[in-house]
Structure 1
Amino acid sequence: MTSPSPRTAHPELPEFPMSRQCPYHPPAGYAELRKDGPLARVRLYDGRVAWVVTGYAETRSLLVDPRLSSDRSRPDFPVLVPRMAAARLVALVGMDPPEHGIQRRMLIPSFTVKRINGLRPAIRRIVTQRIDDLLAEGSREADLVPGFALPVPSAVICELLGVPYEDHEFFEEQTRRMLLATSTAEEAATASGALISYFDELIEAKRTGPGTGLLDELIVDRLGTGELTHSEVASIAMFLLVAGHETTANMIGLSILTLLAHPEQFELLRSGEVAAAGAVEELLRFLSVADELQRVAAADIEIGGVVIEEGDAVYLPNAAANRSPAAFPDPDTLDVGRGTRHHLAFGYGIHQCIGQNLARAELEIALQELATRLPELRLAVPVEHLGTKPGGSVQGIVRLPVTW
């Protein structure tokens, strides 16, 4: 198969990706794309034309279609910005069967509902300690991004993986450099390399003195038996660390902001009228922070009245599917009592997020504890003053000033 050259003959096509104007709403351009049907064409940074899928049914169908490839080693695999290719986050999400299935089956036992339920006391301890620290400061105000949203999932993923939490500032900074919209490809590659080197050293240390985390299990059960190579274990560990704290940190921060911007919804959670688990599902649908699912067509696909040709780039932003009026009545309204779990916030099909049970547990505990212990929590600045993370692959905010 030959890689298609960028097609620059369509300057009238909208540019993609698109930026959010409001932290908790999708880009306005998604609704405009939907007017052209469930699939629309856009133009990437290098002039390449790509398909963007906005229809819910079409997104679900394509996410289970084996004719769409996730293999990021393909020369025709689409890249939104050069830094994302340089970041080398290829484990699981960047693979096709059978390699994808082999690695996923190794990890599934660590992310089952039963295993994550066993981790809930540790998650609650971490959340409780962060709130205790906030209250101990005595100022009745804080920035909940560095003060709560980021340290909670960082501590949790360290607990799960068996990574020393005292290294959190290092890996949080390298993750930021990998994913920051203003980072160059060289900067992203340097940050990625620093994380791989970190895990190279940690793996060697754990081979002589293993602990009890998932990384230790991979070293003993998979590396020690030859099922995985050293570099594969390091790559998997880096992916789980980055995905395990970056996405959830953004989701926690945006969830708090969204609830405080809709105080009647926050009150439903605080009063117990709506269970935390139900509120989390609606927030996952409403926010859809991991809004970058890309594929390349390995064969022609006819869908939604168009033909995706072999070699075409395809983007499936779940924020578009999760705001589809065909799937969700009044989709742009936050309703924590909506009671639906058929959203696509974690993707769908064989690549559905392996850490979804962990993310749900963290969100439920974090939001419930905040609502219970800080019932007078409110924003310290207007929503429009907060802005959004510029052009990131994971949507979020950089600060969240609150008072109580």
Structure 2
Amino acid sequence: MSEPLHTVTTLPTERRPGCPFDPPSELTDARRHGPLSRYTHPGGMPGWVITGYDLVRQVLADPRFSSRKDLLNVVDFELPPAPPGEFLLMDEPQHSRYRKPLVGKFTARRMRLLTERIEQITTECLDVMEEAGPPTDLVTAFAKPIPTIIICELLGVPYEDRNSFQEQIDTFMNGEVSDEELIAAYGATQEYLAQLVAAKRANPTDDVLSELTDSDLTDEELRGIGLILLAAGFDTTANMLSLGTFALLRNPAQLDALRADPALTDQAVEELLRYLSVAKTFMRTALEDVEVGGQTIKAGTTVVLSYHTANHDPERFTDPHLLDLRRQDGGHLAFGHGIHLCLGQQLARVEMRIAFSALLNRFPTLRLAVPAEEVGLRPETADIYGVKSLPVTWDR
């Protein structure tokens, strides 16, 4: 007689104190029992949590699992479809309608052409840090400004609007505000984007959003695309830069290796992406009965895909709980897999390579300004994991 399947009781679940880089213990324990666990969604509907690398990758590549928001069977009421343009929550053919016009604008070659500008922005941030002197909060001084300026320039957000726009994105992404505050921030962002799209139609400039106004996409669709690109382009990279620096400072041997060998930077970025997995979980809904890991996922059932446990799966990665910048077993899922593979992954990589290298070169004595346990972490309710602030100091 086979052993009964493990059950995950709570999502999101908190991480163990003192272990900010490990996946939550309940999910790690679940993976030890097997890659597939039972779960009951908040609305009482039965579901599954997938914690193993191979099965997460399998589901992401399987068109029998849907990304549609309105098919999520997780609450006891019917969810609306995703707004026009917000293609992360859509299937084909709607997904391709929005993604295809963007693919050529985020190629590795085009992102490499941005290198000089990213270097300039990074240098300016470091100059301000150095002039102000230690200590400083690396989140506000470094991790947020770099991706904010880059994604805003790519989409054509005027310079004077960037700070207020960043604050609105922060509000509805940080997982710590009331429903009223979240709705207000989301509404304000939508209103701003509507005005921005109208301005681009009237007076196109040299940016992605202006280029898209020359397509058959409606203003409402462009607003949705703009929201996805701005939120994803800012929040994920900002948290990778800050949490990644925290992880390096907590692993001095790895930090020393990176400082000693700049050629290690590309590998370091990939390992930090795997190790941290700031985009923690995503959901998919079965369109028909599908066998996964020897179990039948019934049609209409929503599964939770745990990226962070998949990227810490010992069946896929050697000593996955260790940060190893020389790791050879690559192939992480930090950017997803399948048709929803992150559109901006090459931009994120270029930003991280430049930012980490420049930061460590400029401040060779960089260190935490507070005990590690006092670094404030984002709650697990936030869509993207990270730190609220990262106080650092250095020798002048």
TM-score computed with the length of structure 1 as normaliser: 0.90
1:158 corresponding residue in structure 2: 152
Q: Which residue of the other structure, out of 60, 63, 66, is the alignment partner of 2:60?
A: 63
Amino acid in the other structure paired with 1:260: L
Deviation at 1:87, TM superposition (A): 9.8
Deviation at 1:370, TM superposition (A): 0.7
2:368 corresponding residue in structure 1: 379
Q: Which residue of the other structure, out of 185, 195, 200, is the alignment partner of 1:191?
A: 185
Within 1, Cα distance between the matches of 2:270 and 2:328? 7
Deviation at 1:90, TM superposition (A): 6.6
1:358-373 mapped onto 2 (5 Å cutoff): 358-373=347-362
Within 2, Cα distance between the matches of 1:101 and 1:301? 24
Contact 2:38 2:48 in 1 (8 A): yes
Report how many residues are paired.
384
381-390 or 40-49, which deviates more: 40-49
Deviation at 1:387, TM superposition (A): 3.4
Q: Which residue of the other structure, out of 249, 253, 268, is the alignment partner of 1:260?
A: 249
Matched, 1:48 2:41: no
C-alpha change, 1:163 and 1:115, in structure 2 (3 Å) is same
Which residues of structure 2 form unaligned runs of 5+?
Answer: 1-6
2:3 corresponding residue in structure 1: none
Please give the per-residue CA displacement for 1:337-392, whole angstroms capped at 9, x wherever unaligned.
11444000000000010000000001100000011111111111122111311121
1:348-363 mapped onto 2 (5 Å cutoff): 348-363=337-352
Deviation at 1:154, TM superposition (A): 0.3
163-172 or 198-207, which deviates more: 163-172
Deviation at 1:18, TM superposition (A): 1.6
Q: Which residue of the other structure, out of 248, 262, 276, is the alignment partner of 1:287?
A: 276
Contact 1:42 1:51 in 2 (8 A): yes
Contact 2:129 2:141 in 1 (8 A): yes
171-180 or 297-306, which deviates more: 171-180
Which residues of structure 1 form unaligned runs of 5+?
Answer: 1-11
Identity across the alignment (%): 42
Within 1, Cα distance between the matches of 2:120 and 2:330? 27
1:142-291 mapped onto 2 (5 Å cutoff): 142-219=136-213, 221-222=214-215, 227-272=216-261, 274-291=263-280
Contact 2:281 2:308 in 1 (8 A): no
Please give the per-residue CA displacement for 1:157-190, whole angstroms capped at 9, x wherever unaligned.
0121111132122222211221232333343222
C-alpha change, 1:93 and 1:163, in structure 2 (3 Å) is same
Deviation at 1:89, TM superposition (A): 9.5
SS in 2 for 1:181: coil
Please give the per-residue CA displacement for 1:103-151, whole angstroms capped at 9, x wherever unaligned.
11110011101100011111111101000110111x3321101111111
Matched, 1:29 2:26: yes
Within 1, Cα distance between the matches of 2:276 and 2:124? 27
Amino acid in the other structure paired with 1:119: L
Deviation at 1:95, TM superposition (A): 0.6
Deviation at 1:204, TM superposition (A): 1.4
Matched, 1:131 2:126: yes
Within 1, Cα distance between the matches of 2:165 and 2:81? 17
C-alpha change, 1:273 and 1:364, in structure 2 (3 Å) is closer
C-alpha change, 1:174 and 1:271, in structure 2 (3 Å) is same
SS in 1 for 2:33: coil
Deviation at 1:276, TM superposition (A): 1.0
1:9 corresponding residue in structure 2: none
Matched, 1:395 2:392: no
Matched, 1:107 2:96: no
Please give the per-residue CA displacement for 1:27-77, whole angstroms capped at 9, x wherever unaligned.
111111113311101233333332111111111111011110001133x44
Contact 1:274 1:337 in 2 (8 A): no
Contact 2:43 2:75 in 1 (8 A): no
SS in 1 for 2:27: helix
